[in-house]
Structure 1
Amino acid sequence: MEIKPIALFLSALVTLVVGFIWYNPKVFGTIWMRENNLTQEELRKGNMLKIFGLTYIFSLMITVTLMSLTIHQTGAIGMVGGPPLIDSAKPSFAAFMADYGMAYRTFKHGALHGFMSGLLFAFPIIGINGLFERKSWKYIFIHAGFWVITLTLMGGIICAYA
């Protein structure tokens, strides 16, 4: 199983693309700003190169995790000690990979796992933080919705093309 890094780099862009749409004032941006007591002027003062650069780096970190959640064959490769030890694996590993090496490697399957990650992992984390920070449910649902959509798309891309 060969991993295509370009798919991981492209998948990491999803957070930025979805964010541009999701947090646009015509979508959820106005509500998000109101829930955070922010204005357009305050947002313009941020160091955008730093914000977008770090967002992309964090997104790359997410792709690594999603790869293990969406591509089931990574578990089989891990069982033999990882890519450096594939050549010395037992014949049963080669037989398994010949039979199942590309099983469930579709956008639909990856999107399902990405959706589940968003709903069952990201949403609870955002919810817990929001509750302790005394944020509104609007705030929680806006952020959780963003991550559910983003992780769904990222998971689909990673599973189908990485």
Structure 2
Amino acid sequence: MNPNLINWAAVVVAALSAFLVGGIWYSPVMFQKSWMTASNLSQDELKTGNKAKIFGMTAVFSLVMAANLAAFLATPTTNLSWGATAGSLAGIWTFASIAIVGLFELKSWRWIFINGGYSLVSLTIMGAILGAWR
């Protein structure tokens, strides 16, 4: 790893991509209803959440994830293909972690696949952005 090869603008864009993916992933067009059912949440319960805290901390954690992935990809040979592959591998890792926690918390497979799938897809896209934008 060469920290001088980290493109910080790409890190920010990669982190923002997680918001875009999440906005689509958890929308009514995709998995909102299934996710809410699997999470035992209602629309009213979601409205009571502190949006500033939720989205603010999501931004921080997305930046941490993107910066961490960028550190692993900070080599002269990194390209789009390797970035997407590394992102996918990181996504598999986080999917497995989500699955382990979900199993111990007695969550359904639906919950595990929805949340783990989001992680896998968002990290793959993050890696692709970081790999392509050298």
Q: Which amino acid aligns with 1:32?
A: W
- The corresponding residue for 2:46 is 43
1:53 matched to 2:56? The reply is yes
- CA separation of 1:9 and 1:54: change in aligned 2, threshold 3 A: same
- The corresponding residue for 1:140 is 112
Aligned residues: 131
1:30 matched to 2:33? The reply is yes
Higher relative contact order (CA 8 A, sep 6+): 2
TM-score (norm 1): 0.76
Q: How does 1:48-87 map to 2 (within 5 A)?
A: 48-71=51-74, 73=75
Q: Which amino acid aligns with 2:50?
A: N
Q: Structure 2: 5+ residue runs without aligned partners?
A: none
1:155 matched to 2:106? The reply is no
Which whole-Å CA distance do the structure 2 matches of 1:150 and 1:70 have between them?
Answer: 16
Q: Which has the larger radius of gyration?
A: 1
Question: What fraction of aligned residue pairs are identical, expressed as a percent?
Answer: 40
**Which 4+ runs in 1 deviate beyond 6 A?**
none
- The corresponding residue for 1:91 is none
Q: How does 1:98-137 map to 2 (within 5 A)?
A: 101=76, 103=77, 105-119=78-92, 121-137=93-109
Q: Which amino acid aligns with 1:107?
A: L
Q: Which amino acid aligns with 2:26?
A: Y
Which whole-Å CA distance do the structure 2 matches of 1:3 and 1:70 have between them?
Answer: 8
- The corresponding residue for 1:84 is none
Q: Is the 8 A contact 1:70 1:114 kept in 2?
A: no
